[in-house]
Structure 1
Amino acid sequence: MSFNKTILTDPVHLLAFGFGSGLLPKAPGTWGTLVAIPIWLGLSFLSLQHYLLVTLALTVFGIWLCGASSKKLGVHDHGGIVWDEICGYLVTMIALPLTWYWALAGFALFRFFDIIKPWPIKWLDKKVHGGFGIMIDDLIAAVFAAIILQVFYRFIG
C-alpha cells in the first residue's frame, strides 16, 4: 500500500494529516492551516464558552492523535501531520469577529510564528516529544498570534 493511500484510508492518519492536506508537496503546514479556516467558520457561531470547550477538546484529542499517527509512521513530527496547525489556528482566532480580514490576519500571524519559531517555540519543538511535543510549538505560536490580534482588535476593533 502506498504512503498516500495509507494516510487516506487510516482514520488516525487522515485526521492527523488534515484530511489529506498534509500530503500536498509544498508547505503542508500552510495547507493544514487553510483547512482550519472552514472549521473556525463553523465554530465561530458557538458561544465563546462552547468555542473554547470544543477547541480544548480538539487540542487534547490532537495530542493523542498526533502521537498515534507519528508512532504508526515511525517518524516524530512528520511534516505532513497538520492537526497541530488546525488547533493552532483555532486558538489564534479565539474571540475574534467573523470577517475575512481577521481570518487573513490570524492566518498570516499564526503562520509567521509557526515558521520563524521564536523562543520558546523552537526550544519546545526540539526538546518535547510525542503528541504533546508535536502540538505544543503550534499552540505557543498561536498564543503569540492571538495576543497580537487581541491587542489590535481592542484598539481598532
Structure 2
Amino acid sequence: MSRLEAGFIQPKMDWCDLNELVFSAIKDNENDAQHHKIVFLQKENMPLVKIDSGLTEQILFNLIHNALQHTPKNSTITIQLDHNLTHCFMEVSDNGKGFPKNEIDFVFDKFYRLNQTATGGTGLGLSIVKGFTEAMNGKIFLDNLKEGGAKFTIKIPCEFSKNTNLENE
C-alpha cells in the first residue's frame, strides 16, 4: 500500500486476454469457493486489451476473494466483461447481503472492515483494488443490487487489438 500511495507502482501495459485473467483469478480462488458458485460466461468477441495483466489479475482475485469471504454459503458470484471503444469493464457481483448504506463510502479505505464481520484479513483487499485500478487511470464503482448483494464495476481506459483473427493461437 505504501508503494501504491507513493506512486511507485507503474503499470506495465501489454496485450492480454481478459477472459484468461478472469479464469486465472477464479482458479486462484478455488480453495475458498467450495461452498459457493462462481459464474463466468466468457465474452467470446472480447478483443485483446493493452493493460497491466498483473495488476488486473490481482484486482479480479481480490474482488472474487472478498465476495467468497463475505457472502453466505451457497451464494453465487458472477463475473462479466464488456468494452466500448475506449474502456474495458469488469464486473464482479454477488447475491449476498450487500453493504450497509452508511459504510459504502468507507469500504475502499485502508484497514477498513465492515462492522460485524468475522475477524481475519487485513482490511487492505479493496483498497488495493482501488489503488491498482487508479494506477491504470481507471475507476471503481460499488452498488448494492436491488435484489440483494453487491456489484463492483471496474472501468479502465485501454487500447484494443484490431486483429480478431486468432486462428493460429
Q: Normalized per residue, which structure has more strand?
A: 2
Which one has a bigger Cα radius of gyration? 2
TM-score (normalizing by structure 1)? 0.31
Q: Normalized per residue, which structure has more helix?
A: 1
